Amino acid sequence: MANNPSIVNGPRLEVKEIKEYILPCPKCLKDMRITDIAVGAVIKCDDCQNITWRISYIPPWWAKTSRFVLSVLLAFILGLGSSLLATWLYEKYYKVGEVRSELNLPTATTKR
């Protein structure tokens, strides 16, 4: 890790993060280094002088609700699967004892 300088007299050092995006120009396809990509920011290519801007993106209604619909569908499938599993386990292990007692067959808990 690098040693940070200590300031004796003077203002404090502040660290500022600047994000840089490399995007292709839509006209000449050369890389443009962009630091401000706010909605409506005007961008000028240094090579071909093309001016473009970043428009706002509004996702369609189905893109907003797709995860909600998928989560409800998954919950339904898990509920159905657990109900079927519980029914199968009940019929396999619990109902067997009832059938044996109705037929007066010996079960594991009764003595002969």
- pLDDT tier for residue 102 given thresholds of 50, 70 and 90: low
pTM: 0.34
- Both 70 and 111 in one domain: the answer is yes
- Both 111 and 68 in one domain: the answer is yes
- pLDDT, position 41: 73
pLDDT at 108 over 60: no
- Both 108 and 67 in one domain: the answer is yes
Is 75 contained in some domain?
yes
Collapsed DSSP state (helix, strand, coil) of residue 59: coil
* Pair 39, 55: CB distance under 8 Å: yes
Number of domains observed in the structure of the chain: 2
Is 5 contained in some domain?
no
- pLDDT, position 73: 94
- Both 66 and 107 in one domain: the answer is yes
- Both 43 and 81 in one domain: the answer is no
- Both 91 and 105 in one domain: the answer is yes
Containing domain of residue 67, as a range?
58-112
The torsion angles phi and psi of 23, rounded to 5 degrees, stand at: -120, 145
- pLDDT, position 45: 84
- pLDDT tier for residue 52 given thresholds of 50, 70 and 90: confident
The torsion angles phi and psi of 31, rounded to 5 degrees, stand at: -70, 135
- Both 77 and 92 in one domain: the answer is yes
Is 86 contained in some domain?
yes
pLDDT at 54 over 60: yes
